[in-house]
A = this chain, B = another copy of it.
Amino acid sequence: MRDATLRDVARLAGVSARTVSNVVNGYARVSERTREKVERALVELRYRPNVLARNLARGRSGQIAVVVPYLDTPYFAELLQAIIPRARERGYNVLIDQTDGDAVHERELISRGARAFLFDGMIFSPLGLAQEDLVEIDPDLPLVILGERVSNGVFDHVGIDDVEASRAATAHLIGLGRRRIAAIGDQPYPTGEAAQLRTRGFRQAHADAGLPVDESLIIPTPRFNRADGSGAMRALLSRAEPPDAVFCYSDLVALGALHTALESGLRVPEDLALIGYDDIEEGRYANPAISTVSPDKVAIAATAVDRLLTRIGSAEPVPGIEVRAEHRLIPRESTIGRTPPVS
């Protein structure tokens, strides 16, 4: 069957093709009665608007891209879960891509390239690209960056205060009387900004308490995942003097470290207190439940979408801004032990 055209719909509804077009595009005022007639005809003829042609005419795709390193990282999955409904409410579909942290793929996405016109703007969490690479961003691409890079005045950046959050997490361990505190997740310059900010907060908490940092207790990991957390914990436990607490740079790292610590017969938190970062649901259901730093993911998602749509909707270039979302420390069993149930 040949696809129905606007003209076919107009003929059946007894109106002009222009009127049908107005109804389909929601452009002009159409009386309720006319709208109903047209909608009935659209359904009857199974009219399928050619979205691609329409977008082309408008110079808009009605899609935004959200680009994250890994979709199976719960932090990103939970963030996407908040971004999608927000974008949909505001009339945008979300195109999701994962980069595996590959710098070449990331660079391709932010430069003028073959993907142009497929999306109107992008929310991007870089991993392979360093801060200094972000100068290559196409200035015509409406862009909001998530994570630990900072705005260079061209794009917006939404994140939390990582240094302060990490300082608070470490201070929590110090406050519990722990003195041999390890850090799992440090990463080298230039792409490891997220990790370096957390290490800075870790050091700051020690300085605030007048405690020295044992540099050998700062364990780098290539990624923030369970396997890396587990491997780092194995290395720590093989030492003559293992730590009595550990600050993990993500909940996944903490969950891997926890698994290995328990497997080795340690009691958590009695022998080893453990705190993570991200507040993913998995940490709340872990045994013991893990203490964490909770970024306000709903606020991050809403701010990112709203700023992006502002940029997309503006005819003039919009200067890039820094937005800091809230975070809070959530102590759970992995640092403070089992609390009696509230009755």
Residues of B contacting A114 in the complex (Cβ-Cβ under 8 angstroms): 49, 51
User: What would 17 A/B residue contacts be, using CB atoms closer than 8 Å?
Assistant: A48-B112, A49-B114, A49-B116, A50-B117, A51-B114, A52-B56, A63-B118, A71-B71, A71-B77, A71-B80, A72-B74, A72-B80, A85-B100, A94-B97, A226-B285, A230-B285, A255-B282
Q: Mark A253-277 against chain B: 1 for CB-CB distance below 8 A, else 0.
A: 0011011001000000000000000
Beta-carbon contact of B98 and A81 below 8 Å = yes
Contact of A259 among B71, B230, B285 (CB under 8 A): B285
Tell me the nearest residue of chain B to A105, going by C-beta: B88
Q: Mark A47-63 against chain B: 1 for CB-CB distance below 8 A, else 0.
A: 01111110110000101
Beta-carbon contact of A51 and B256 below 8 Å = no
Question: In the complex this chain forms, how many copies of it are found?
Answer: 2
Residues of B contacting A176 in the complex (Cβ-Cβ under 8 angstroms): none
A interface, CB within 8 angstroms of B: 46, 48-53, 55-56, 61, 63, 70-72, 74, 77-78, 80-81, 84-85, 93-98, 100, 112-118, 226, 230, 255-256, 258-259, 262, 281-282, 285-287, 289
Residues of B contacting A80 in the complex (Cβ-Cβ under 8 angstroms): 71-72, 98
A230-B287 Cα distance, complex, nearest whole Å: 13
Residues of B contacting A70 in the complex (Cβ-Cβ under 8 angstroms): 81
Shortest distance from the beta carbon of A128 to any chain B beta carbon, whole Å: 16
A72-B72 Cα distance, complex, nearest whole Å: 8
Residues of B contacting A51 in the complex (Cβ-Cβ under 8 angstroms): 114-118
A116-B51 Cα distance, complex, nearest whole Å: 7
A116-B49 Cα distance, complex, nearest whole Å: 7
Beta-carbon contact of B287 and A259 below 8 Å = yes
Beta-carbon contact of B262 and A285 below 8 Å = no
A281-B259 Cα distance, complex, nearest whole Å: 12
Shortest distance from the beta carbon of A176 to any chain B beta carbon, whole Å: 21
Residues of B contacting A98 in the complex (Cβ-Cβ under 8 angstroms): 80-81, 84
In the A-B complex, the 4 residue pairs with the closest CB atoms:
A96-B96, A52-B117, A72-B77, A72-B81
Tell me the nearest residue of chain B to A80, going by C-beta: B71
A52-B97 Cα distance, complex, nearest whole Å: 18
Beta-carbon contact of B81 and A116 below 8 Å = no
Q: A71-B77, A287-B286 are in contact. Are A46 and B97 (CB under 8 A)?
A: no
Residues of B contacting A117 in the complex (Cβ-Cβ under 8 angstroms): 50-53
A61-B56 Cα distance, complex, nearest whole Å: 13
Residues of B contacting A55 in the complex (Cβ-Cβ under 8 angstroms): 52
Tell me the nearest residue of chain B to A260, going by C-beta: B285
A97-B63 Cα distance, complex, nearest whole Å: 12
A116-B48 Cα distance, complex, nearest whole Å: 7
Further 11 A-B residue pairs, CB within 8 A, beyond A48-B116, A50-B116, A51-B118: A46-B112, A52-B55, A56-B56, A71-B81, A72-B281, A74-B77, A93-B115, A95-B95, A95-B96, A226-B285, A286-B286
